[in-house]
Amino acid sequence: MDMNVFSNLALGFGQALTLANLLYCFLGVFLGTIVGVLPGLGPIATIAMLLPITFQLPPTSSLIMLAGIYYGAQYGGSTTAILINVPGESSSVVTAIDGYKLARQGRAGFALFTAAVGSFFAGTISTFLIAGFAPPLAAVALSFGPAEYFSLMVLGLAASVSLAHGSLIKAVAMVVLGLLLGTIGQDLYTGTPRFNFNMTDLSDGLEFVALVMGLFGIGEIVRNLEDEHERSVLAQKVASLIPSWAEFKTTIAPILRGTALGSVLGILPGGGAMLASFAAYSMEKRLAKDPSRFGKGAIEGVAGPESANNSGAQTSFIPMLTLGIPSNPVMALMIGAMIIQGIVPGPNVVTEKPELFWGLIASMWVGNIMLLILNLPLIGMWVKFLTVPYHVLFPGIMAVCCIGVYSVSNNPFDVYTMAFFGVVGYVMVKLDCEPAPLILGFVIGKMLEEYLRRAMLLSRGDPFVFFQRPISAGLLLLAIAALTIVLIPSVSKKREEAFKE
């Protein structure tokens, strides 16, 4: 890290603090909080719904807003987890365990305060981590040839599959299915139409927005309609938010540990907020002098995971921004948004679009301050949102999906595509196949093919090129390791426990 970081951050804040970008940042974190509060509506579906709207915005503003939704959802998710034992996000599942117990003991204010402060601290640290680590990483990546890139993408896919929950082989199959769907449309080199099955609408490939909205928007609605039950909101009076110094002291160490763990797990391909929060919870439990307190209202069980999920959410931007590789479905959507804006994701973004890169990073810190203000004093307002029943909510989600997907290119075919993948998404989930790996495959597919073909052309058709170049070989070995480790019985058992806990 050198002094450049500070001049770069200054550039970034110059971008993030313009009136328009402040507004989009606020809009993002505001929507993110709502999404976090509402169960049954996640950041993936929301970002997908907003993608068409962001086409109209300048690239920096659109990424600032979309990023705000993701980390904003981490704040909002914890609120409902603590107050009513309903985790709004998968990353707040563990927060509900001890947070809700604390709320029942009348210490909801303390838990909420800890969650917000922990998230804010973690968000601040990880903003600086991105600022410090992303440029050097991008510089290294600039020396990569096509073989290295291919192997890096394979590693990214392998790692995300091994960290996904559910059956490994099904996740691999879903990635391959995504890659295959990505090949629909014109061939990059020859312009030959592929797999359009005599439909002219398919000649440019499947519309990304339609695919995502179908899988996560429409498919999700059907899943939520399976069992509709009224949410009972026990309107808890949140007494005092500010804890005593003695109470506050107990949260410092878990917040620090959670931030560190979350930052590391966020960078890993396949990582992100959910994994970070689960790992932080089990770490706190293991480190505690009296582990039996966990599950009965241990503040460490809130402080650790809440810090971890926010730092994990933010550092997962590092591989996305520097290598162009999505570590989770949300990052895949961000890459999709960049491509739509005409930006080629990869190591060149840092040098060619510094205002976008640093503006986005600076906006994260600004957004975290906004979230602190939005969440602490306004907590009562968010709880009100929970009283909106799903049967009132979902027609709205549907309407936004329908108009949004149509607006991408004013083509009804995209609406039909969305409907089709809505069915696909629901059926696959019923067959225990998670749709997230499919999205990763779809986004990476074209790049993966391009690098494969280029590498093979350079090596004159020798597939061993991927193992002869040391960096490429190392990355591929890591990919193989990531997949085989999961298959080791003791690890696979641990993995299942971790996702069940």
Task: From residue 323, give the alpha-carbon distance in Å to each of 67, 327, 346, 404.
Answer: 17, 10, 5, 29
Nearer to another protein, 98 or 414 (CB): 414
- For residue 281, the one-letter residue type is Y
Query: Tokens for 23?
Result: 């507004």
Q: Which CB sits closer to another protein, 264 or 402?
A: 402
Q: How far is the CB of 455 from another protein (least distance, A)?
A: 10
Q: Whose Cβ is closer to another protein: residue 187's or residue 497's?
A: 187
SS3 432: coil
**Whether 177 contacts 492, CB under 8 Å:** no
Nearest-approach distance from CB 174 to another protein, in angstroms: 9
Report, in Å, the least distance between residue 402 CB and another protein. Answer: 5
State CA 136 to chain mean position distance. Answer: 23
Instruction: Give whichever of 139 and 423 is closer to another protein, judged by the CB atom.
Output: 423
- Side-chain half-sphere of 454: how many Cα atoms within 13 Å? 15
CB of 427: closest distance to another protein in angstroms? Answer: 8
Q: What is the smallest separation between the CB atom of 359 and another protein, expressed in angstroms?
A: 23
- List C-alpha distances in Å: 340 to 326, 336, 405: 16, 6, 14
Q: How far, in Å, are 35, 131, 133, 293 from residue 124 at the CA level?
A: 22, 11, 14, 29
Amino acid of residue 485:
I
CA distance 478 to 268: 12
In angstroms, give the least distance from the CB of 219 to another protein.
Answer: 9
Element at 229 (helix H, strand E): none
Q: Considering the complex, what minimum distance in angstroms separates the CB of residue 385 from another protein? A: 16
Q: Which is nearer to another protein, 293 or 453 (CB)?
A: 453
Residue 500 CB, shortest distance to another protein, in Å, is: 15
| Residue 138: C-alpha distances to residues 19, 345, 352, 471 (Å) | 30, 11, 12, 15
Q: What distance in Å separates the CA atoms of residue 103 and residue 99, rounded to the nearest whole number? A: 6
Tokens of 119: 């998230």
Tell me whether residue 194 or residue 494 sits nearer to another protein (CB atom): 194
CA distances from 228 to 22, 71, 221, 223 (A): 38, 28, 11, 10
- Contact residues toward another protein (CB under 8 A) are 53, 56, 167, 169-170, 172-173, 176-177, 179-180, 183, 187, 189-190, 192, 194-195, 197, 218, 221-223, 225-228, 389-392, 394-396, 398-404, 406-407, 410, 412-416, 418-419, 422-423, 426-428, 430-433, 449, 452-453, 456-457, 460-463
Taking a C-beta distance cutoff of 8 angstroms, is the pair 268, 278 a contact?
no
Q: Name the residue nearer to another protein (CB basis): 381 or 457.
A: 457
Residue 245 or 464: the one with the smaller Cβ distance to another protein is 464
SS3 of residue 193 by DSSP: strand
The CB-of-47 to another protein minimum distance in angstroms stands at 16
**What is the rounded distance in angstroms from the CA atom of residue 16 to the CA atom of residue 22?**
6
Question: Quick check: 173 and 435 in contact, CB under 8 A?
Answer: no
Please list the helix, strand and coil fractions of the chain in percent, rounded to the nearest 5, in that order: 75, 0, 25
Neighbours of 43 (CB within 10 A): 29
CB-wise, 90 or 409, nearer to another protein?
409
Choice between 351 and 387, CB closer to another protein: 387
Orientation of helix 108-142 relative to helix 93-104, angle to 10° = 160
Query: For another protein, which is the closer residue by CB, 377 or 389?
Result: 389
Least distance from another protein to the Cβ atom of residue 206, Å = 13
**Minimum separation from the CB atom of position 216 to another protein (A):** 13
Radius of gyration of the CA atoms of the chain, in A? 22
